[in-house]
Amino acid sequence: MFATATRNFVEEVDRGGDLIPVSSLNDTISLLTVVVKKKRIWFWQKPKYQPTDFNLNDILAGDTPIQPDTQESNFIKYNGTFGDNLQGKVEANFVQNNLSMEGKDTSKLQSSFGSLKKEELGVQKLIKDSKERRLDMSHCLVEQTMMNNNRVFGIVKERIVTTEPCSVIEEVQKEGKCTGMVTFLPRVRKVSLKENANLSKDSNITMEIPPHTTLAYTLIELEVKHDGHFKLCLMSGVSGGFEEVDSHDCLTISKVPVQHSEKVDLKQDVEEFKENFEVLSAVPAQTKSSLFLQITNVISDHTAVSLLQNTLHHLCHGSVSASVEEYKQQIQDILDLVAQTGASKDAVIKALYLVLSAVDEMPNKCLALLGMCCSSALLPDLELLVQCLLGDEQLPLSAIKQTTLEEEVFDRVQRLFSSSNVALKKDGDSLRTEVQQEAENLPLILCISVRGLASLSQ
């Protein structure tokens, strides 16, 4: 809830900029706090940032701390309300059972942060004070970070903080109807949905946030030499790293690559993941239908998506992850269904990890629209539009179902593509797609998300 509110805030005030949203109220972030930047697997993924319990002075060699020059200024007064009104119907035909589910979700997230201020370091003084200073290379945080060349040190240069008590309020209303009967038997649990079942759930949560809470921050990355001397990476797009010895005994800097801003061949990029989509398509029909229902249940919740893809990440790498209690059962239900795929389990986990990682990169507005469009009736048409985008071709209107072309539904689809920086237009009896300028990686993320979800919905 807090993470969604700060992400919305950054998307509104600094989309495409350097501000990083704070994801947890447990993170204590001040100027000079050391943050570890972690590179992701695929180039289109944004880095992850892990604030530490240390500041720059804690990891410096010597006893003389750096005394930063700090400035404060008024930023903005911010109150934002974001809402979704989702309606959908999913039908699943099994060998012995038929299931029809209809749902309506109404949610509203109101962030009342009030007057915000900006605190920032005086960079000129920091450059002067840090000259000839060295990191303590025996410090445990330095040693542990150096062990992984995908990680980089950054220090907090600027932060946006609250100045008064404020709140985040979430209101959710869910209504559903299930007709038919189906019984799932994942491991020990038995869940039966009986004929003409009606489900409803309301929640209203208020989170009180104290003054001086950091909502977002920016970093200066460090380029660290093998002897502990370091340079500040001051230019946007210049990344830091640790110097290491390569196979030729030459010292090099191991850096996290700068994210690509443009891709030349969108079709080629998506084609690299073709096998993953085929793996999802090949999942047995009953398991696949159940898996699709479970994933569509969480697809509009950015926190749930992030936790699920994080769990899949750890499964792919043989490590253990912790789940937030609120989402633990939802994630476990999905993992139980994956376990039913037997010998192909590992391949299914990797394929789902790819798709959920793409979904997790979507801006909040885009993710909400994807949730509105995530139905077995609409996804095949979305996949046709993605194929049109990849082939840079026209798509005849006759190839799309009439229900998709209805004004309300088509407007939703257009907004989904537009939020991914893709223009979708009717041109006579055809549809055209066009990637907009400075689209970054959003069109690729849209293509992977749609194709993966469509593979599950078949």
> For the residues 305-331, what does the mean pLDDT come to?
80
The structural domain count of the chain equals: 2
Tell whether the model's pLDDT for residue 379 goes beyond 70. Answer: yes
With a pLDDT cut of 70, the percent of the chain lying above it is 81
**What is the arithmetic mean of pLDDT over 160-167?**
92
Residue 183 lies in a domain: no
DSSP state of 258: P
**Span 145-173, mean pLDDT?**
88
Residue-level pLDDT at 259? 43
Instruction: For residues 161 and 304, state if they share a domain.
Output: no
Domain-located, residue 192? no
At 323 the pLDDT is 60
Task: Look at residue 260 and tell me if it is in a domain.
Answer: no
- 287 plus 431 within the same structural domain: yes
Mean pLDDT over each residue of the chain, to the nearest integer: 82
Is residue 427's pLDDT more than 70? yes
Is 33 in the same domain as 117? yes
Is 243 part of any domain? Answer: yes
- Look at residue 191 and tell me whether its pLDDT is greater than 50: no
Query: Does 146 have pLDDT greater than 50?
Result: yes
Question: Which contacts (CB < 8 Å, 24+ apart) does range 361-364 have?
Answer: 361/44, 361/45, 361/46, 361/441, 361/445, 362/419, 362/420, 362/442, 362/445, 362/446, 362/449, 363/11, 363/15, 363/419, 363/442, 364/4, 364/7, 364/8, 364/11, 364/82, 364/302
Domain stop point among 222, 255, 288: 255
Q: How many residues does the chain have?
A: 458
Residues 222 and 271 in one domain: no
Q: Are residues 223 and 134 in the same domain?
A: yes
The pLDDT of residue 115 is above 70: yes
Whether residue 182 is predicted with pLDDT greater than 50 in this model: the reply is no
Average pLDDT over residues 25-51: 90
* Higher-pLDDT residue of 98, 290: 290
Please check whether residues 251 and 290 belong to one and the same domain: no
Tell the residue number behind the tokens 């239908």, with chain if given.
Answer: 289
pLDDT in tens, 201-235: 556 778 888 999 999 999 999 999 999 999 999 88
Beta bridge partners of 236: none
Least confident of 44-58, 71-85, 154-168: 71-85
145 pLDDT above the threshold of 50:
yes
Q: What is the mean pLDDT of residues 254-277?
A: 69
Lowest-confidence region among 89-93, 120-124, 411-415: 89-93
Express each pLDDT in 297-317 by its tens digit.
Answer: 888 888 889 889 989 988 887
- What is the Cα–Cα distance from 188 to 268, expressed in whole angstroms? 43
pLDDT, average across residues 250-277: 66
Q: Is residue 272 part of a domain?
A: yes
In this model, does residue 161 exceed pLDDT 90?
A: yes
DSSP string, 133-151: -BB-TTSHHHHHHHT-TTE
Instruction: Give the span between the Cα atoms of 66 and 49, in whole angstroms.
Output: 24
Q: pLDDT above 90 covers what percent of the chain?
A: 46
Which residues span the domain enclosing 394? 266-457
Question: What residues contact 378, with CB distance under 8 A and at least 6 apart?
Answer: 404, 409, 413
Cα–Cα distance, 413 to 129 (Å, whole number): 53
Q: Is the pLDDT of residue 429 over 60?
A: yes
Same-domain status, 276 and 319: yes
The answer to whether residue 249 scores a pLDDT higher than 50 is: no
The strand order across the sheet containing 430-435 reads 395-396, 430-435, 422-427
The b/e string for 237-253 (b: 16+ C-beta within 10 A; e otherwise) is eebbbbbeeeeeeeeee
pLDDT tops 80 at residue 262: no
Q: 150 and 62, same structural domain?
A: yes
Statement to judge: residues 333 and 248 lie in one domain: no
Q: Which two structure tokens, joined as six digits, stand for 253? A: 């800097």
Residues 234 and 295 in one domain: no
Among 255, 284, 316, where does a domain finish?
A: 255
Residue scoring higher pLDDT (393 or 183)? 393
Residues 233 and 287 in one domain: no
Per-residue confidence (pLDDT) for residue 118, from 0 to 100:
96
Asked if 314 contacts 320 with a C-beta cutoff of 8 angstroms, the reply is: yes
The answer on 285 and 249 residing in a single domain is: no
Residue 35: what pLDDT? 96
In this predicted structure, what is the pLDDT of residue 53?
94
pLDDT attached to residue 105: 57
335 falls within a domain: yes
Lowest mean pLDDT among 73-87, 361-375, 406-420: 73-87
Whole-angstrom Cα distance, residue 45 to residue 104?
31
For residue 359, the model assigns a pLDDT of 95
- Is residue 187 over pLDDT 50? no
